[in-house]
Amino acid sequence: MQEVRAVFKEKLIRTPTVASFRFNLPQRIGFIPGQFLQVIFDSERRDNKDLNKYLSFSCSPDNPYIEVTKRLSQSDFCRRLDSLKAGEEVLIKAPLGSCIFKPEEQKIAFLIGGIGITPVISIVEYTTGNNLPNDICLFYSNRIEEEIAFKKELDAWAAANPNFKVFYTVSECQPKEKNCIFGRIDRNLILRYMPDYKERVILIFGPPKMVEAMQELCLESGCSKDKIKTENFIGY
């Protein structure tokens, strides 16, 4: 773990409410796909939770930049992040987190809600970019289609990587696209599209209630507890 001054590079709009922020570093941070970092705007008060927050890497460690992605709000942290101008420096602490990609886990499934997609992006971009043989299945749930972050990238990786499959679900309106399913992630959906779920390591990222619901679903469906890994995204 180290602290470095990251130089803001650019902002990318992902959805009407989600944006990514890219930074250049003076030296590479050797993070593992799935890990996260802390953005520190108040270095004198490290316990200032309003201005110092944890965000997942939303890019492969092979990239020449680092990227984080945030659902934007009117919080003090979001206003500071969103007001960054190219060339400004931000203190970051990284890498953090142990809910990570492990090459030896050959069959992986993700049950993801909303902004919980960020560490998945890091993992899938890395495995696809390196032509790794890991069999990855992603179920990604949002309220509406317009809030599906990284859909263009995920679709491109699914087309390029035969070992990666993605299923989108939306809960509040009938989807327009054929590859998007109306409803929530439930047992019937998993049985239909991922009948080998008991063979997979299952990673669950997202808001606490969603993570709890998906964990219960896995246990009720007969998944082994030691194959379920979770990480709560708080403060979004």
Question: Can you give the pLDDT at residue 235?
Answer: 56
Pair 207, 137 in one domain = yes
Cα angle value 18/24/27 (rounded, 5°): 135
Last residue of a domain, one of 46, 66, 96: 96
Q: How many of the other CB atoms lie within 10 Å of CB of 125?
A: 23
* Long-range contacts from 130-134, C-beta under 8 angstroms, 24+ separation: 130/62, 132/103, 132/163, 133/106, 133/163, 134/101, 134/103, 134/105, 134/106, 134/107, 134/108, 134/163
Q: What is the pLDDT of residue 234?
A: 66
- With respect to residue 102, please indicate whether it lies within any of the assigned structural domains: no
Residues 118 and 57: beta-carbon distance below 8 Å: yes
Residues 99, 230: Cα–Cα separation, whole Å: 7
Write the CATH number for 74: 2.40.30.10
Q: Which two tokens stand for residue 224?
A: 């082994």
Number of compact structural domains in the chain: 2
Q: Which helix or strand (DSSP H or E) is residue 181 part of?
A: strand 180-182
Q: Tens-of-pLDDT digits for all 236 residues of the chain? A: 899 999 999 999 999 999 999 999 998 888 999 999 999 999 999 999 999 999 999 999 999 999 999 999 999 999 999 999 999 999 999 999 888 999 999 999 999 988 999 999 999 999 999 999 999 999 999 999 999 999 999 999 999 999 999 999 998 777 677 678 888 899 999 999 999 999 999 999 888 888 999 999 999 999 999 999 998 876 55
pLDDT recorded at residue 88: 98
